[in-house]
Structure 1
Amino acid sequence: MSNKPWQALGKGPGIIIIDAAHAVEQRLLEDWLQDCLSSEGLDECDAVRIVIPIARTPEKLDATPLLAALESGDDTCVLPIRVVWHCSLDEKSIRPRARDLLFGNPRRPGPWRARRMLAQNPERAECIAGEPATLGALRERLRQRSGSETDPMRLADFIAAQAGLALDIAERRLQGSRYKVPRRVAVNILNSARFKEALNALNAETGKSVPQLRHEAEGIMRELIARPAPFWLDVMAQLNHLIMSLGYDSNVVIDREGLERIRQLTREYPAALLWTHKTHVDAFAVNSMLFDNDFPNPHILGGVNMAFAGLGFLARRAGAIFIRRSFRDDPLYKLVLRHYIGYLMEKRFPLSWAFEGTRSRVGKLMPPRYGLLKYVMESAHATDARNLHIIPIAINYDLIGDVRDYAVEQAGATKQPESLRWFIGYLRGLRQPMGQIYFDFGEPVILPEVPDVADERELQRVAFRVGLEVNRVTPITLPSLLSMVLLGSAPRALTADELRAELQALTQWAQARRIRITRHALTEDDAQMDALTDKMVLNGLLTRYDDGPERVYAIAADNHGVAGYYRNTIAHFFVIKSIAELALMRMAFRKLEGSEAFWVEAERLRDLFKFEFFYAPRDEFRLQIRQELNQYREDWETALDEKGGAAVVLGQFVPLVAHSVMLPYIEAYRIVADVLARQEAGAALDEKDAIAQSLAYGKQAYLQRRISSEASIGKLLFQNGYKLMANFNLTGSGEADLAARRLELAQEFRTLQRRVERIRAQALP
């Protein structure tokens, strides 16, 4: 097409829209057209040439020159042409340079810079043509979108915009899909029939006139709508690489098959990419990974608190959408947001945001909040979007610089608010070796017809499915596995041989169940393992002692909370096995028989920790338990009917993991239960006071070694423990047997703690 644009015009009348910002570009395009004519053996062509600088000012087009040409017949062919300026002939040098911020975008050079580029490297200028269309087809296309006949100026404006879109598509064939960005969003939304109907309905609801509502909506759009542009996408990509390279290896580990799968899905369906939020690096890492793999630029949704000076300016121009923290009492803001999100989905621009509520300060995935998910599903429902694909992305790191801050916060410190000064300090803190970043993609949660989310259960169902998929594809990393093993043995250190044997047993267990494992965690490669453990020692997470007869490893004394974070990132893989071990230990200790006793205890443990983990429905939960025990002994239920059968079955469990996985939750819940039991008879205790008292008592309990690790002390752990107590109706006041029931639950957790200690004694060499 770009080599022979006249073939599209044929012999009939035509309009050639020349997208030229200045005389240099216009001359290039005119010469190119003349060359095309000459190559066809023609001197002239029955086509009107109209110059409109579309690429230079895509949001403020002046389509007046088109008006006279619109009197042509419906069979008149409209062909747009443009000059594409390549940043460099060297593909390795396409990143913007500091001087580009001073002299302007090299992709859209001014006349002086364009002449200089042509003089030095004329190959950097390439003329292209967009897909042609007839005037009749364009008139019909506008009629369908606006719902009525329109005036000539509106038609001219629409044709110029469509010419720009056709040229953008042709340009992306040369420069990549990563530069796919929406144009004239506010204009298109304001002129859509659906938005006009919504304004009329809001007029009836609020009493404000439609012109007033439209004026206010324009102001909201200026605040809300992102303005991505290729140059700023390049600048943002440079920043993304810089931030990631401060502490992480430049080569990220990507599930390539999953990436290609979601690439195809986002082309065909409205899509939302939900990624786990573990650190402030997440958004930069996601954008960098997608950009480097030529993925269409996603629009990242975030809170307006991150739109501080500098970063906010750049992020908006790279596709970030900053949403107000609260707008419940502003129906117009809700309306604009709903139609903006609906427009992006309709045009197949993928949305992206952190899985809200899951930026856990303790490592594991937490119950999500539904703010952004609710807005997106409301928008999809209101705009009748079909087959919405919600795609889970698990981002994982060998090490995370934020974790020490999390541990301090969990110990009771106040979170530092975001600001430019805070951000600069944060970047400085990333300058330490932290290994690699891993991207894995879950199966999409598909909504053929998006339900009305007035019923929160629909939101919960979708979020729960996303959470399960994120957990399923999260890989086991070496730091998380080391943290789990060494916390399970704490305060005892393990020799290098003991540690390697534990790691080997756990990786074999995981491989047998087809759980993803990063290559560093596979103990066959001693060099890779040693390199990463060295980074963990330098990072302060591990301590290593070499002066004795054997090298030994332990969690550094002040970093149990940090290690607990890494351990918790993989705890969900081992929960089913841990519950089975604890249920069998209870049967062995109390000399119980029969599979029914086992299932009663397994169900009870499931309910005790329902605020900590995403469980499958009960029938599937039982199936998971059966599948795990079948790995060791297929007739295990029959064996439980025999005297001492539980001890025999438990003895076949290698490795044992309950002490490494469940102990912090049991100890944290015991602390909260003890705090409740210490209250005056019948006195109520609110959540804030319960957490404060639990933090204080937890530190005392650790000093007295009533709990094994400081990893069991944390606000979120205590918060979930309090939720459980409230679920048991133990936090209120006035009930006659309240004190006795509180004491009974505290004793139950002490018993459970002793049971875990027995498992640990059996597990350690």
Structure 2
Amino acid sequence: MRWRDLLPFGDPRTPGRMRQWFLSRFSRHRFEILEAPAASVSELRARWQRATTQDLAHTVGLSEFVCRQAALALERAERRHRGARYKVPRFVIEEISARAPFRAGVAAYASQLGKSETQVHREAIRYLHEIAATHDPTVIDLVANLTRRIVQRGYRALRYSPDQLARVQTLAQKGPVCFLPAHRSNLDHLVLFLALYENGLPPNHTAGGINMNFFPVGPLVRRSGVFFIRRTFRDNELYKFVLRQYVDYLLEKRFSLEWYIEGGRSRSGKLLPPRYGILSYVVDAYRRGKVDEVYLVPVSITYDQIQDLAEYATEHRGGAKTRESWRWLVRVLRRLRRRYGDIHLRIAPELALSEFIARESIATLADPEETSRPIQKLAFELCVRIARATPLTPTAVTSFALLSVPDRALTAGEVTALVADLLRWAETRELPTTAGFAWGTVSQVTAVLEALVENEAVSCFRQGEEPVYLVSPEQQPAAGYYRNTVVHFFLGGAIAELALFAVRDSFLARQRTGMPVHSHEEATQEFWRVVFWLRDLLKFDFFFPDRQQFREEIDAELRRAHPDWQTLLAHADGVDELFHHLRPLLAPASLRPFLETYWVAAQAALLWGDQANENRLGFVSQCGNLARQLWLQRRIRSTEPTSRVLLQAAVDLASYHGLLGPGVDPVRRKRWADQLRAALLWLDSVAARALARFAEEVALREVPSAGFATVATPNGEPASPSSI
């Protein structure tokens, strides 16, 4: 449906009386009379009895039920002509409130709360009105057109695979589908909504925070599929009951759901720990036999650049989250005047709940809010699939390259050389990439750098011989955001690099003290001990496969560098030889901000750990001040540890290890800080080797070969002597 169809007289598919009269008199070819299938009174009464469990002789409410069934039958007849795009629920509140489980639950809560059943029923209906989406086909078309304009305003294109959406459409014919996207931008819902609309699929029922229910956003998105839920309702049992009944209804009617498994937007770029609320409701509905099957579909929505980054930068510095309002909406639309590249939508392989339940055997829970171990594993598996589907983008790879050489401005040619190493590394591992991944010339990398400069994620100095690019200390969180969207791909190699240096340092320490050197078996054991210690250390920030699979991935990673890598662990020179084959070195850009943040929190625990639990936000603020001091003293090399977002995860890690609060042995805190400091020393060793390699390669490129100057061909590649 186009703007010119909607704006003058409303939706032409549902004309008013005057337009109906006009069409019937002068444009008979433009309308068709539809007839829905008939049903006998006895059949309708049987349906009504099954739906409400009323006595067959009791007819109170039967007439209303028949009217609703007639309207729904006509709706289905219209849908066969108009398409599945407009498959929307009708009479949601009436149907839910008439169900026996709803009425029984209201009666039980009335008894529990000491209120009359009428009073509790009225309150439950009010919650239903507050939660439920109210789809309107006209508004669906209107929002689709608005979304297309918004996306085109700030982005070149929305890129996705129609085949992936066709696969989802096939799944929807078998059972309800639940979309679980990663949440990085306020545009995420609109992006998925537009992709479904363009492929003739109905809009999802999307869980949205009630903070977005403001004019004009709230009325529009509610009528196009969003249902609003409160941010916190842990102590409101009636509200939880109503929400659970609403989810049951949507699943039984096989409507598609959508919610963000992280709960809120990621301010750091990486996936956040999962929230289990709605996932627990869906699993509970399946366990109670409300549906035969549920398909969970992980979704990755990745942006070349995001317009939310200015807000995130404020929150990184400790500022308050901007409250959503009309003014906030205007600012968002104004920011979209800039160009932010492309949007990439990827749908990961689905997970059939019946298969997972058959393996994990989720036990009956007295309270669906309770988070069982299998539900945690289910959420973990969904997050792993989202991460694996996330593509490497030119912006993310370029940001990673810039951050791998900190405190130094680079020419476009130098950045291109670093990017080329990363591209080769990714191609050999068959990692998911964007459609334009076959890039890497100086001109292409320069275009990416200039886009980052335009949006203030990178600085450029142009007054010298040639432009040079630098991530300034203030810009490190912004560039780090784009790096973090793909950093999970590099973690295995980065952890292996630190473990190799741990083994090497152990060899050298034993030689200095005159102790017997490690045997091959001892060196191998030390390597894997450090690998799994780092894995456990980082699991608060990242999702890893199980220990056996992770071990196999590390082994495969090092075998690419040297088939007999384990034999090289027998002596320090062998480790040096193995490092010679590792290219590129990944640990400095991948792990430094996280390890330094953990160390800052450990140092803060030594100073103020006894009072940390009394005021957790105050302790995080103290950590930020300490991080700023340590950076000014250059005891840490990145400004990212000053971010409140990263520090919160580091404080949670320290709390998990029992290092915060009164009565903690200071020796334990000191040991924890020393272990993290040792990891940073390994990281510094890897970084020094990476910088030395980079400086050597830059020097080689600057030396003319056989008396010929190095020039560039029109496509941006270095010319060979024969072409000069």
TM-score over 0.5 for the alignment? yes
1:458 match? 374
Letter aligned with residue 181 of structure 1: V
**Pair 1:613-2:533 in alignment:** no
**Pair 1:198-2:105 in alignment:** yes
Q: 233, 245, 268: which one pairs with 1:327?
A: 233
1:225-240 map, 5 Å: 225-240=132-147
Q: 619, 623, 635: which one pairs with 1:706?
A: 635
The 2-side partners of 1:697 and 1:406 are apart by 21
Q: Deviations over 1:373-420 (max 9, x none)?
A: 334434444563332222111111000111122122112112122222
The 1-side partners of 2:446 and 2:429 are apart by 26
1:595-614 map, 5 Å: 595-614=524-543
The 1-side partners of 2:638 and 2:296 are apart by 38
- SS of the equivalent of 1:394 reads strand
Q: Tell me: CA distance 1:167–1:529, structure 2 relative to 1, closer, same or farther (3 Å).
A: farther
Deviation at 1:762, TM superposition (A): 4.4
Letter aligned with residue 613 of structure 1: F
Q: Tell me: CA distance 1:330–1:642, structure 2 relative to 1, closer, same or farther (3 Å).
A: closer
Contact kept? 1:143, 1:150, Cα under 8 Å: no
1:588 match? 504
Contact kept? 2:624, 2:641, Cα under 8 Å: no
1:247-646 map, 5 Å: 247-249=154-156, 251-357=157-263, 359-382=265-288, 384-448=290-354, 452=365, 453=368, 454-523=370-439, 529-545=445-461, 548-556=464-472, 558-591=474-507, 594-642=523-571, 644-646=573-575
Higher share of residues assigned strand: 1
Contact kept? 1:520, 1:529, Cα under 8 Å: no
Deviation at 1:132, TM superposition (A): 4.0
Deviation at 1:525, TM superposition (A): 6.9
Deviation at 1:351, TM superposition (A): 1.0
Higher share of residues assigned helix: 2
**Pair 1:163-2:70 in alignment:** yes
Q: How many residues align?
A: 668
**Pair 1:659-2:575 in alignment:** no
Q: Tell me: CA distance 1:234–1:685, structure 2 relative to 1, closer, same or farther (3 Å).
A: same
Deviation at 1:308, TM superposition (A): 1.3
The 2-side partners of 1:361 and 1:325 are apart by 18
Contact kept? 1:395, 1:437, Cα under 8 Å: yes
- SS of the equivalent of 1:439 reads strand
Deviation at 1:365, TM superposition (A): 0.6
Letter aligned with residue 685 of structure 1: A
The 2-side partners of 1:521 and 1:658 are apart by 23
The 1-side partners of 2:83 and 2:466 are apart by 55
The 2-side partners of 1:150 and 1:380 are apart by 32
Deviation at 1:763, TM superposition (A): 4.5
Contact kept? 1:226, 1:316, Cα under 8 Å: yes
Deviation at 1:664, TM superposition (A): 1.1
- SS of the equivalent of 1:392 reads strand
The 1-side partners of 2:235 and 2:61 are apart by 34
Contact kept? 2:6, 2:12, Cα under 8 Å: no
Letter aligned with residue 380 of structure 2: F
Identify which range, 443-452 or 504-513, moves more after superposition: 443-452
Uncovered stretches (5+) of structure 2, i.e. residues with no partner: 508-517, 698-724
Deviation at 1:566, TM superposition (A): 0.5
The 1-side partners of 2:531 and 2:689 are apart by 16
Contact kept? 2:416, 2:440, Cα under 8 Å: no
Q: Tell me: CA distance 1:358–1:646, structure 2 relative to 1, closer, same or farther (3 Å).
A: farther
1:719 match? 648
Q: Deviations over 1:645-678 (max 9, x none)?
A: 2221121111111111111112222222333344
Contact kept? 1:578, 1:657, Cα under 8 Å: yes
Q: Deviations over 1:185-225 (max 9, x none)?
A: 12222222333333344344345444444333333322222
Deviation at 1:461, TM superposition (A): 1.6
Q: Deviations over 1:541-598 (max 9, x none)?
A: 2334455455533325632210011111111000001001111122223336531121
Q: Tell me: higher relative CO, structure 1 or 2? Use CA pairs within 8 A at least 6 residues apart.
A: 2
Contact kept? 2:498, 2:683, Cα under 8 Å: no
2:81 match? 174
Q: Report the RMSD for the aligned CA atoms in angstroms.
A: 2.7
The 1-side partners of 2:603 and 2:683 are apart by 13
Letter aligned with residue 465 of structure 1: E
Q: Deviations over 1:586-632 (max 9, x none)?
A: 22233365311211111121122221111111111111111211222
Q: Tell me: CA distance 1:739–1:375, structure 2 relative to 1, closer, same or farther (3 Å).
A: closer
Contact kept? 2:601, 2:650, Cα under 8 Å: yes
Larger Rg: 1
Q: Tell me: CA distance 1:242–1:660, structure 2 relative to 1, closer, same or farther (3 Å).
A: same
Query: Which runs of at least 4 in structure 1 moved beyond 6 Å after TM superposition?
Result: none
Q: 206, 210, 218: which one pairs with 2:125?
A: 218
Q: Deviations over 1:109-146 (max 9, x none)?
A: 22223344556754332222334445554343333323
The 2-side partners of 1:698 and 1:598 are apart by 30
Q: Tell me: CA distance 1:125–1:636, structure 2 relative to 1, closer, same or farther (3 Å).
A: same
Uncovered stretches (5+) of structure 1, i.e. residues with no partner: 1-90
- SS of the equivalent of 1:244 reads helix
2:612 match? 685
2:691 match? 761
Contact kept? 2:311, 2:322, Cα under 8 Å: no
- SS of the equivalent of 1:656 reads coil
Q: Tell me: CA distance 1:408–1:556, structure 2 relative to 1, closer, same or farther (3 Å).
A: same
Letter aligned with residue 754 of structure 1: D
Identify which range, 327-336 or 131-140, moves more after superposition: 131-140
The 2-side partners of 1:641 and 1:99 are apart by 80
Q: Tell me: CA distance 1:162–1:516, structure 2 relative to 1, closer, same or farther (3 Å).
A: same
After TM superposition, the score normalised by the length of structure 1 is 0.81
